A and B are shown apart, each in its own frame.
Chain A
Amino acid sequence: MENTGVQQKTGKRKWVITAAAGFLVIIFLLTFFSNTVMNYSLPKVSAQYPSYGTISTSNRASGLIEATRKEPVKAFDNRVVEAVFVYEYNEVMAGDVLLTLKPQTESDELTSYKTQLEQIELERYYESLLPVNPPDYTYLEDAIDMASDNLKTANTDLSNAQNKETIIANAQTTITQSGAAIVQLTAEIDALSSVIAQLRLDLSEMEYERDQEILVLEQNCAAAVAALEDDRDDELEILYQELAVAQAALDAVPDGDDNSAELAEVNRIQNEIISVTDQYEADIHAVNSACQTGIDAVNAYYDPGIDQLNSDIAELEGQLSEKSTQLVTEQDKLERAQQKLAEAEMYLTVADAEKAVTRAQKALADAKKALSDQKKIDAVEAERKKRARQEEDKLIQDLKDKIKVLEDNMKITEIRAPISGMTTGFSVSPGEEIMKDQVLGIIIDRSGGYSADFVFSAQQARMIYIGMEMSVSFNAADRVFVTRIRPDPNDPRNSRIVSTIVEGEYLWEGNSIEVRFDDYSQAFECLVPNSSIMEDGTGKFVYVLDEKKGPLGEKYTALKVNVEVLATDGKMSALDPSVIQYRRIITRSEKPIANGVQVRLEYFQQEG
């Protein structure tokens, strides 16, 4: 009995445990799939309906007022300020003294320029003393000539190399032929020489015989003549003795006396002398004539033979000379042929000769190029020197101008106002050092007017025209009107700089001024906050809230809708109502959402 009770209790316990476990599982499932748990992972969003409203906006821009006419006051040199006579926003007239400067007696810059000028002039002077040598290309031209010669030699060697076999063959042929000719000629010459020698012998014998006969005749003739002369002389001696006696007798005759007989005697003797002389002369002449006749006969006898011999000898000698000449010629030919043969044996191969030609051509080309290059280099150098000279001249002139300016500036001790106007930015104080070209301050000519530049978008600028008057929110400015529109260098495609003239009585340079134009106010059906408009690669869009009711409650989904922004004032934007009317727009989200993502509504807030 007790066991049955225990078993029943055990069964009930098991049933209770099973029921409790099942209940827990169901509760767990409901909890897990409840909105609270599911929604926890969903992004929170705020949404609202588009509203009807007005967008009031204007095209606005801010800028800074600038004086149209202003002149910077610059330091003309490095000086020390002695006294300052202006303060900020002081009105001055043109020519008023703004600052005085301490006199300057020396200037490092001036000294430096003078030193530099001196150095340049001194260099130039020394340069002028140097000799000027024109460019000498002799060695290059010589090199070209040498290269040409080498090329010719190489070409010759090549030709020789190409014709080596022919040359050798020719030389050998010449040697053979000349050798044979020499042998023959030598023999002929020997033969001729012996004949000539024999003929000469014959000639000399014949001439000896003739001379001997003539000698004999001449000796005979001379003897005969001598005998006649002896006789004559003997007779003449006698006659002369008689004449002397007669003459003496004649002379002995005193003057005035008849001397005819003596004279006749003398005349007779003289006539006898003459006659004897003539007689003997005739005899001698006859003897000589006979002798001569004999000699002529001998000559006539021997001369033909002698002439024949001479003629033969001359002919043979002519032949001999010819043969000798031929022999010499053949010997020369042989020598040359042998020399040629020896040379030809030493000729280069064709390949080597071609290489040598190529080298020689290259050497010639290099030599020509070297000359050409050197000429170019010299021309460039000359041009460079000329340019350097010109620049040096310019530098000298610049230095002189600067020195003059500095010297003039050293005398200046005041800085005056270049124009009339209001001073600003003068921050130097007495004792302060100012540097050359340092801007000491600016003088603004307030009567020159004021201008301001504004940056507008290109779209806005399309509505602006030159002369257009813009509204201004700056009390001191009365009018602002446009003078120029130009692209903004920072963003030329999308931005424009609009230049304006600002008119007003109490304007100051540097004041910020805001202008606007084309104020408009327009009502739109569909206004949404700017925070709801997003952009991606498809363009601008908004997320609309899509609501669906389900068994577990309302389910919200974000749906992307591309929109077109009609107008905006920076806070609200007007959209084309056709795509989103009557639908709630998601204005904010806890984190970025995507199209089709389920979201949960944080709270419903109507903005705007």
Chain B
Amino acid sequence: MGCKDFWIRFLTGLRDHVLGFFRMLFRRLPFVLAALALLGILLSTVFIARAKESQFDQYAAERWGAETKIHYRQVSVIGRGQPQPYGAPDLFIDAETSMNKSTVIEIRTTLENFITSSGNEKTEADKQDTERSGRIWADAYYAEARASIRVTKNGEETGVGTEADLIGVAGSYYLFHPRRILEGSFLSEEIIDRQSVVLNEQLAWLLFRSNQIQDESVMIGSRIYTVVGVVREPDAKTDRAAGFDRPCAYIYFDELAFLSKPESNSYGNEFESEYPSAPIVADSQNLSILCYEAVLPDPIDGIALNDLKSSLQTYSPSEENFAFINHTGRFGLLRIIGELFPIGGEIPSLSNFSYPPGELSAQMTERIIRVWWVVFFTCLVLFIISLLAVVLTLRKGIPKRSIKNSTSDEPSITSGEKDVIKVRRV
């Protein structure tokens, strides 16, 4: 009977405690909800800010126009090329589908005319403020490939090598993609040495087990390149998911042309040891540019994007043969909400494009930010409702807890509090 009484008393006590707890909770529910909602608001704000902050590639306009009086916008256009085997860079198909260096010259000429004619030249005062006048706008373009990269020493391969992504860059690429430099520097816009290469941290460690590898040599294809820098790729979750964690090397755009596969020569192999092999045609005009990006003056909202579209003369709005991206302000609340429509999917034609990792990461970030905004507004609504409930509760007054006789059989919170008081006395 003693054991049975013990268990009855224990369970009764537990029930009393639990019921007491929930009663207390329900009485204090508005406060709890308000606190949770506030926490939700804070967390969503923090996560939104963190997500935005990690996307450095989307703030080129802010960087370029920070100290000028001109409002800038970062825009880009993505084209399609003819895929090639063995990881060779995509080839130019036609003007309605692809971009090449001739397209870039056309775009630059047209944009220069637009900007000059719209009165965006630097004023004399601006020019006198700076010792050397800066450019009004900047651009860059790049293409991707995949190649085998081998370490060389004194012109000879050491046997260490790996497959890696290759990005051929031109223009002010670093402005748009400011990677953290671990060693040396990034490829400069002005070409000093064409056969320069920048490795990312992953590739540097795979090949050399170190980041201090400036002036080392690697062979890409059949050409030898000198390492001028090591960079760290963005490492946010979305960046890793987009592919930034893969080994990657950066070379000048024209050098990609040397990755075209040579035609087979039935006698070439036999005499390769004695005679140099037939040259590879290095015509970068045949290469398809994956992405062309620019920071342009945007005195009227959206005019920069229109200028870029107008400068690409083969662009057809009805066919959407090129994908245009408006980077500046893409994480703003209104843009995020606007991207929700059409609900359930993106425009089918844009899914035909192969986006670079930076754009994929940005799109994933947009989705994450969208989710956190939903959380934010939900918590905000909840907070407001809870706050009203708190005010009402305070006006009614919080019921005071009363200490009752411990011998009372009525289960109440008081019995628990008596125990608490007892604990405090200890």
Residues of A within 8 A of B (CB): 57, 60-62, 64, 87-89, 424-427, 429, 457, 490-491, 508-512, 529-531, 535-540, 560, 562, 564, 568-571, 587-592, 594-595
Cβ contact within 8 Å between B64 and A536 = yes
Which residues from B are CB-within-8-Å of A568?
A: 188, 190, 192
Could you tell me the distance in whole angstroms from the C-beta of B395 to the nearest C-beta in chain A? Answer: 30
Other-chain residue from A425, A540, A592 in contact with B265 (beta carbon distance below 8 A): A425
In the complex, per-residue mask of B154-195: 1 if CB is within 8 Å of any chain A CB, else 0: 000000000000000000100100101110111011111111
- The answer for the CA separation of A89 and B279 in the assembled complex, in Å, is 14
Contact of B105 with A by CB under 8 A: yes
Q: Which residues of A contact B278 (CB under 8 A)?
A: 424-425, 510
Q: Which residues of B contact A535 (CB under 8 A)?
A: 134-135, 138, 172, 175, 189
Interface string of B122-157 (1 = CB under 8 A from A): 000000011111111010000000000000000000
- CB <8 Å contact, B67 and A538: yes
A529–B185 touching, CB < 8 Å: yes
What are 7 residue pairs bridging A and B, where the CB atoms are less than 8 Å apart in the complex? A529-B185, A530-B185, A535-B135, A539-B134, A570-B193, A588-B180, A592-B56
Chain B residues positioned under 8 Å from A539 (CB to CB)? 130-135
Say whether A589 contacts B192, CB under 8 Å.
no
Residues of B within 8 A of A (CB): 56, 59, 63-68, 70, 72, 101-102, 105, 129-136, 138, 172, 175, 178, 180-182, 184-186, 188-196, 214, 223, 228-229, 263-268, 270-271, 275-279, 282, 284-285
Tell whether, in the assembled complex, residue A490 and residue B285 are in contact, meaning their CB atoms are under 8 Å apart.
Answer: yes
The residue that A540 contacts in the complex, of B132, B195, B214, with Cβ under 8 A, is B132
In contact, A508 and B275 (Cβ under 8 angstroms)? yes
Q: Evaluate contact between A536 and B132: CB separation under 8 angstroms.
A: no
A456 to chain B minimum Cβ distance, whole angstroms, is 10
Q: Chain A's nearest CB lies how many Å from the CB of B131? A: 6
The answer to whether A491 and B64 touch across the interface, beta carbons within 8 angstroms, is: no
The reply to whether B130 and A538 form a contact with Cβ atoms under 8 Å apart is yes
* B268 cross-chain contacts in A, Cβ below 8 A: 88
Chain B nearest CB, measured from A355 CB (Å): 50
Contact B186–A531 (Cβ < 8 Å): yes
| B277 and A591 contacting across the interface, CB-CB below 8 Å | no
Interface pair B195/A589, CB less than 8 Å apart: no
Beta-carbon contact of B138 and A88 below 8 Å = no
A590 to B66, CA, bound (A): 19
7 closest A-B pairs by CB:
A510-B279, A539-B134, A88-B267, A531-B185, A530-B185, A570-B192, A537-B68
Which of A60, A509, A510 lies in contact with B193, CB distance below 8 A? A60
Residues of B contacting A592 with CB < 8 Å? Answer: 56, 59, 63, 178
B265 touches A571 (CB 8 A): no
| B143, chain A: closest CB distance, angstroms | 15
A588 touching B181, Cβ below 8 Å? yes
CA A587 to CA B102, docked complex, whole Å: 36
Are B63 and A570 in contact, with the CB atoms below 8 A?
Answer: no
- Closest residue of chain B to A66 (Cβ to Cβ) is B279
Distance in Å from the Cβ of A579 to the closest Cβ of chain B? 8
| Shortest Cβ distance from B194 into A: residue | A62
A457 and B282 in contact, given A427-B264, A562-B131, A589-B180 (Cβ under 8 angstroms): no
Q: What chain A residues lie within 8 Å of B186 (beta carbons)?
A: 530-531
Closest to A539 in B: B134
Chain B: minimal CB distance from A179 (Å): 86
Tally A-B pairs: CB < 8 A: 131
Q: Which listed residue (B101, B133, B172, B184) contacts A571, Cβ 8 A?
A: B184
Partner of B228, one of A64, A491, A570: A570
Q: Is the CB of B279 within 8 A of A536?
A: no
Question: With the chains together, A87 CA to B275 CA distance in Å?
Answer: 13
Chain A residues closer than 8 Å to B271, beta-carbon distance: 88-89
Q: Hey, which chain A residues are within 8 Å of B138, CB to CB? A: 535
CB A138 to nearest CB in B, in angstroms, measures: 54
CB pair B67–A427 under 8 Å, yes or no, is: no
Q: Are B180 and A590 in contact (CB under 8 A)?
A: yes
Other than the known A536-B66, A570-B193, A571-B214, what 18 A-B pairs have Cβ atoms closer than 8 Å?
Answer: A60-B193, A88-B268, A427-B266, A427-B267, A429-B266, A491-B105, A510-B277, A531-B186, A535-B134, A536-B63, A537-B66, A537-B67, A537-B135, A538-B134, A539-B135, A568-B192, A570-B228, A591-B56
**Chain B residues within 8 Å of A562, by CB:** 130-132
B188 and A537 contact, CB distance less than 8 A: no
By the criterion CB–CB under 8 Å, are A57 and B192 in contact? yes
Question: Given the complex, which residues of B lie within 8 Å of A491, measured CB to CB?
Answer: 101, 105
* Residues of the A chain whose Cβ atoms lie less than 8 Å from the Cβ of B284: 490
Query: How many angstroms between the C-alpha atoms of A529 and B136 in the bound complex?
Result: 25
**Residues of B close to A569: CB separation below 8 A:** 192
A64, A88, A491, A564 pick with most chain B CB within 10 angstroms: A88
How long is the Cα–Cα vector from A450 to B188 in the complex, in angstroms? 32
Residues in B whose Cβ lies below 8 Å from that of A571: 184-185, 214, 228
Q: How near does chain B come to A370, taking the closest CB pair, in angstroms? A: 43
Known: A508-B276, A570-B228. A538 touches B267 (CB 8 A): no
Taking the closest CB of chain B, its distance from the CB of A257, in whole angstroms, is 164
A595 to chain B: which residues have CB within 8 Å? Answer: 66-67
Q: Which chain A residues lie closer than 8 Å to B64 at the CB level?
A: 536-537
CB distance from A485 to the nearest CB of B (A): 18
A538 and B180 form a contact (CB under 8 A): no
Residue of A at shortest CB range from B277?
A510
Q: How far is the CB of A266 from chain B (nearest CB, A)?
A: 155
Q: Considering the complex, give the chain A residue whose CB is closest to the CB of B229.
A: A531
Contacts of B266 in A (CB 8 A): 427, 429
Taken together as a complex, chains A and B put the C-alpha atoms of A512 and B278 apart, in Å, by: 11
Chain B residues closer than 8 Å to A538, beta-carbon distance: 67-68, 129-130, 134
A52 to chain B, nearest CB (A): 20
- Complex CA–CA separation, A37 to B154 (angstroms): 49
Q: Which residues of A are found within 8 Å of B180, using beta-carbon distances?
A: 588-591
- Using Cβ atoms and an 8 Å threshold, which residues of chain A touch B70? 537
Docked Cα-Cα span, A61 to B195, in Å, equals 10
Q: Are A536 and B181 in contact (CB under 8 A)?
A: no
Q: How far is the CA of A490 from the CA of B100 in the complex (A)?
A: 10
Residues of A within 8 A of B265 (CB): 88, 425, 427
How far apart are the CA atoms of A87 and B277 in the complex, in Å?
Answer: 14
List of B residues within 8 angstroms of A60 by Cβ: 192-193
CB distance from A510 to the nearest CB of B (A): 3
* B102-A490 in contact (CB<8A): yes
The residue in A89, A570, A589 that gathers the most chain B C-beta atoms within 10 A of its C-beta is A570
Tell me, rounded to whole Å, the shortest Cβ–Cβ distance linking B100 to chain A.
9
Q: Nearest residue in B to A64 (C-beta to C-beta)?
A: B279
Check A87/B267 contact, CB under 8 A, given A539-B133, A571-B228, A591-B56. Answer: yes
B128 CB to nearest chain A CB (Å): 12
Cα A287 to Cα B266 with chains together (Å): 163
A564 engages B276 (CB within 8 Å): no
A9 (CB) vs chain B CBs: closest residue:
B425
B363 to chain A, nearest CB (A): 21
Q: Which residues of A contact B276 (CB under 8 A)?
A: 508, 510-511
Which of A88, A564, A570, A594 contacts B132 (CB under 8 A)? A564
Residues of A within 8 A of B131 (CB): 539, 562, 564
Q: How far is the CB of B170 from chain A (nearest CB, A)?
A: 10
**Shortest Cβ distance from A10 into B: residue:** B425
By a CB distance below 8 angstroms, the chain B residues around A589 are: 180
**Chain B: which residue is nearest A569 at the CB level?**
B192
CA distance A379 to B101 in the complex (A): 50
